[in-house]
Amino acid sequence: MICQNCYTLLHQYHILMINRLCLICLFAFSFTINSFAQKLPDPIGATPNKYQLEWQDMEYYMFIHFGPNTFTDKEWGHGDEDPKIFNPKKLDARQWARTAKAAGMKAIIITAKHHDGFCLFPSKYSTHTVRESAWKDGKGDVLKELSAACKEYGLKFGVYLSPWDRNHPDYGTPKYNDIFAKTLNEVHTQYGPIFEQWFDGAKGENEKKQDYDFPKFYEVVRRNNPQAIIFSDIGPDARWMGNENGIAGETNWATLNTDGFGVGADAPAAKVLNTGDEGGKYWIPAEVDVSIRPGWFYSAATDDKVKTLKELESIYNTSVGRNSNLLLNVPVNRDGLIHPADSTRLMELRRFLDAAYKTNLAKGKKVTTAPATKAAVTSNLTDGNTNTAWTIDGAGKGVDVTIDLGKATSFNRIVLQEYIKLGQRVKRFTVTYWDGKAYKSLGAHTTIGHKRILSFPTITSSKIKITFTETLGTNPVLSEIGIYKAPEL
């Protein structure tokens, strides 16, 4: 038995010890916060909104071109095809989603309506749809099946709808823009949530004249899916890269001046779209669209022409590795399935990327900067966390960051990421490595943005130095630097 006095003293002792422990924990927490956070500069120029930030983190997803063209071996259908030719008897949207997931992709965007006007869903505003096809006796709905499959496999779902319609009788009249807006509304109210709306400004030559009312179309998307990224030549949320070869500009700004420009023929020159505008008025990052085959729609004649692993890795480096997202087209065949030739190559790429970026050789390594400032938290550069950031106080050119690997280490990839919440700053930088006696050049480069991948023949070194020679406004603000040893191809 414990007497009342002893019990009281013991109780007071416990309270005292708990209070002391809380103070120690609070001090340790405060020390941790102060160690890994620092005062960052104000944003510079245009900056991404929260949906654009989430979108840029996705990096890599699947495009699917599918429709009557799949059965006619055409790239652009004329809209006069008998809808009954569309009959993919083994269609399995779960196979598409399963393949995309296994490939490491984050989403699927499908051609819900291409230029021929054929809708992969039973639209009330067209008579050229799956409802008129032979597939499932007209009772099928590709968008419904794919949207459900994407949810099942944890993928985001996006849609392509072309305003150009070579089938609809009202195309080329004042009525058409309202009809297209209603068609958009069907898709955005029945198959959401939708992460990206892909618009094409094509009109063809010697076709009916139709001025597209894009503000009306954008309003439909914003009203129903405010989180959706709207893609076109000039955004407003993501822009075309200016080519379909999978190559973003060596210099690639996520900012663009679009005032006075339009979608399609009224867009800025391809060269401008490829590089963006330094200090541009709007944050409109690039998306690279490219097909795994020579064409966009499936053709049996291209079964042996699927891009090689080396070609796909090069595309990855010139898209994701140049401040862009990669939208890789994988066409569905006439059975309604992804062909084994395509899925095999996708899995090869997944295995390569997993091996290439499995181990960050720079993680946790010592980082020094010149000039050195007390406020700079250099460990943020190699902590594996893109939500932390590093910069230095004061203005100056020739800011050096040196990563000491501690011993001679072989590597062939360097990955840099800016803290783009505050804008894009880096204009030019150089990379050198220590060969035991002196620093040797790994080249001079321009922009970084969300991610920059530098690929080069394998070298062995204990230190690399990155010198930021020119920035916009203030010193660089980076979130991460990684060093990797990818398998040789």
CATH number, position 286: 3.20.20.80
Q: Return the structure tokens found at 170.
A: 């009202």
In a domain, 28, yes or no: no
- 323, 443: one domain: no
- 406, 280: one domain: no
Local structure of 466: helix, strand or coil? strand
pLDDT confidence of residue 7: 37
CA dihedral 65, 68, 73, 74 (to 10 degrees): -80
In a domain, 295, yes or no: yes
- 325, 384: one domain: no
pLDDT confidence of residue 341: 98
pLDDT confidence of residue 392: 86
In a domain, 32, yes or no: no
- 333, 379: one domain: no
Burial track 190-225 (b if 16+ CB lie within 10 A, e otherwise)? ebeebbbbbbbbebeeeeeebebbbeebbebbeebb
- 303, 399: one domain: no
Q: Return the structure tokens found at 280.
A: 């541009």
CA dihedral 264, 129, 136, 154 (to 10 degrees): 40
- 138, 276: one domain: yes
CA angle 103, 109, 112 (to 5 degrees): 140
- 338, 374: one domain: no
Question: What CATH number did the domain enclosing 457 receive?
Answer: 2.60.120.260
- 193, 115: one domain: yes
Local structure of 13: helix, strand or coil? helix
3-class DSSP string for 302-360:
HCCCCCCHHHHHHHHHCCCCECEEEEEECCECCCCCECHHHHHHHHHHHHHHHHHCCCC
In a domain, 138, yes or no: yes
Out of 356, 390, 413, a domain closes at 356
In a domain, 136, yes or no: yes
Sign of CA pseudo-dihedral 160, 229, 325, 260: positive
pLDDT confidence of residue 37: 60
3-class DSSP string for 31-93:
HHHHHHCCCCCCCCCCCCCHHHHHHHHHCEEEEECCCHHHHHCCCCCCCCCCHHHCCCCCCCH
- 287, 266: one domain: yes
| Structural domain that includes position 314 | 50-356
Residues 420, 43: Cα–Cα separation, whole Å:
9
Residues 198, 34: Cα–Cα separation, whole Å:
43
In a domain, 27, yes or no: no
Count how many domains the chain has.
Answer: 2
Out of 356, 388, 419, a domain closes at 356
Residues 140, 124: Cα–Cα separation, whole Å:
14
Out of 356, 386, 409, a domain closes at 356
- 333, 462: one domain: no
In a domain, 19, yes or no: no
pLDDT in 10s for each residue of the chain, 489 residues: 444 444 343 344 444 444 444 433 433 333 333 334 668 889 999 999 999 999 999 999 999 999 999 999 999 999 999 999 999 999 999 999 999 999 999 999 999 999 999 999 999 999 999 999 999 999 999 999 999 999 999 999 999 999 999 999 999 999 999 999 999 999 999 998 999 999 998 988 778 999 999 999 999 999 999 999 999 999 999 999 999 999 999 999 999 999 999 999 999 999 999 999 999 999 999 999 999 999 999 999 999 999 999 999 999 999 999 999 999 999 999 999 999 999 999 999 999 999 999 999 999 999 999 887 766 789 999 999 999 999 987 665 789 999 999 999 999 999 999 999 999 999 999 999 999 999 999 999 999 999 999 999 999 999 999 999 999 987 899 999 999 999 998
- 349, 440: one domain: no
- 348, 383: one domain: no
In a domain, 41, yes or no: no
